[in-house]
Amino acid sequence: MAALPAAVLAVLGLLGLRLGCAAAAAPLVIWHGMGDSCCNPQSMGYIKKIVENKIPGIYVLSLKIGSNLIQDMENSFFMNVNDQVREVCSQLAQDPRLKGGYNAMGFSQGGQFLRAVAQRCPSPPMLNLISVGGQHQGSVYGFPRCPGESSHICDWIRKTLDLGAYTQAVQEHLVQAEYWHNPLKEEDYRKNSIFLADINQERGINETYKKNLMALKKFVMVKFLNDTMVDPPISEWFGFYKSGQAKETVPLKETSLYTEDRLGLQEMDKAGKLVFLGVQGDHLHFSEEWFYATILPFLQ
């Protein structure tokens, strides 16, 4: 059979592109927030379903820490975050469907936990990181609201954090203490925080952390504009209280983390890799329409 002319081959190539030879969407990894689980039909199960409906054929992995949903929920309060991150890194490395790279979306504390995955575990590669209400400079003061306001777990956590958030025993066994950032006790935080102070480079520069985070295509941060749970809400955009007081906040660009570029955020910002989104509503309250219009484009 005679070879087809180059012009015909070119036309066939164009037709192939137009008729659906586009690459499949990258897989999506989801990490839930405090007091939630991987597969709650009202939260992560719902997110998984609507993403799969809108992006046919996409592989969505909703992370489960533990052997069942009860353990998964309990571990969001009581399992050392560093151990959780190691467990997730292992899960991702062993999943053949992720080897070409994946997008990641973390809800509330899951946002900063997935950032730790990006910084510590570059294989398989994280492509885009979407943090939905993640507390990247930490949270503090009163533990304003946690799932189940009357829950004895929430009451116990509040008392424990107030009494000794930076003691070794509490740091090792209480998740929320590990991103507890008290602006009145900055030195205690820098010295004793076993998770957040590490991933935010408070005790020195880990160049590997910086390099790995900067490899992201986009780092998307969603702040809830009427948030009553995260204190201060600007932590969701990497801002925080001015040191030594708890009234005035500063945006990311005025923090030493940015001005000293300890994580590469300044360089990422200049390259257009940082995306700051605001949504009306309380913590993790958003509409399906907003999700489709604003978040879905980062997954396709």
Q: According to the model, what pLDDT value does residue 269 have?
A: 98
Number of folded domains in the chain?
1
Q: Using pLDDT thresholds of 50, 70 and 90, give the confidence band for residue 16.
A: very low
Let me know if 37 is a catalytic residue.
Answer: no
pLDDT reading at 15 higher than 70: no
Task: Flag whether 153 is in a domain.
Answer: no
Average pLDDT over residues 259-275: 98
Task: Flag whether 160 is in a domain.
Answer: no
Q: According to the model, what pLDDT value does residue 245 have?
A: 83
Let me know if 108 is a catalytic residue.
Answer: yes
Task: Flag whether 3 is in a domain.
Answer: no
pLDDT reading at 1 higher than 50: no
Q: Using pLDDT thresholds of 50, 70 and 90, give the confidence band for residue 246.
A: confident
Would you list the DSSP string of the chain?
A: -PPPPHHHHHHHHHHHHHTT-PPPPPPEEEE--TT--TT-TTTHHHHHHHHHHHSTT--EEE---SSSHHHHHHHHHHS-HHHHHHHHHHHHHT-GGGTT-EEEEEETHHHHHHHHHHHH--SSPEEEEEEES--TT-B-SS----SSTT-HHHHHHHHHHHHHTTSHHHHHH-GGGGGB--TT-HHHHHHH-SSHHHHTTTTS--HHHHHHHHT-SEEEEEEETT-SSSSSGGGGGT-EEPTT-SS-EE-GGGSHHHHTTSSSHHHHHHTT-EEEEEESSSTT---HHHIIIIIGGGG-
For residue 221, the cross-strand partners are: 131, 276
Let me know if 282 is a catalytic residue.
Answer: no
Per the residue annotation, which of 36, 72, 227, 261 is the catalytic one?
Answer: 227
pLDDT reading at 128 higher than 80: yes
Q: According to the model, what pLDDT value does residue 247 have?
A: 86
**Which one has a higher pLDDT value, 7 or 276?**
276
pLDDT over 90, % of the chain: 77
**Which one has a higher pLDDT value, 143 or 24?**
24
Q: Using pLDDT thresholds of 50, 70 and 90, give the confidence band for residue 146.
A: low
pLDDT in tens, 56-77: 999 999 999 999 999 999 999 9
Q: According to the model, what pLDDT value does residue 244 have?
A: 85
Task: Flag whether 63 is in a domain.
Answer: yes
Task: Flag whether 5 is in a domain.
Answer: no
Average pLDDT over residues 99-123: 97
pLDDT in tens, 187-245: 999 999 999 999 999 999 999 999 999 999 999 999 999 998 888 999 999 999 998 88
Task: Flag whether 274 is in a domain.
Answer: yes
Q: According to the model, what pLDDT value does residue 21 have?
A: 44
Lowest mean pLDDT: which of 72-81, 151-160, 161-170, 177-186? 151-160
Per the residue annotation, which of 62, 76, 108, 131 is the catalytic one?
Answer: 108
Task: Flag whether 279 is in a domain.
Answer: yes
Q: What dihedral do alpha carbons 265, 270, 271, 272 form, nearest 10°? A: 90
Task: Flag whether 17 is in a domain.
Answer: no
Which CATH number is 131's domain given? 3.40.50.1820
- Find the domain containing 288 and state its range: 28-147+205-298
Q: According to the model, what pLDDT value does residue 147 have?
A: 54
Lowest mean pLDDT: which of 8-17, 67-76, 283-292? 8-17
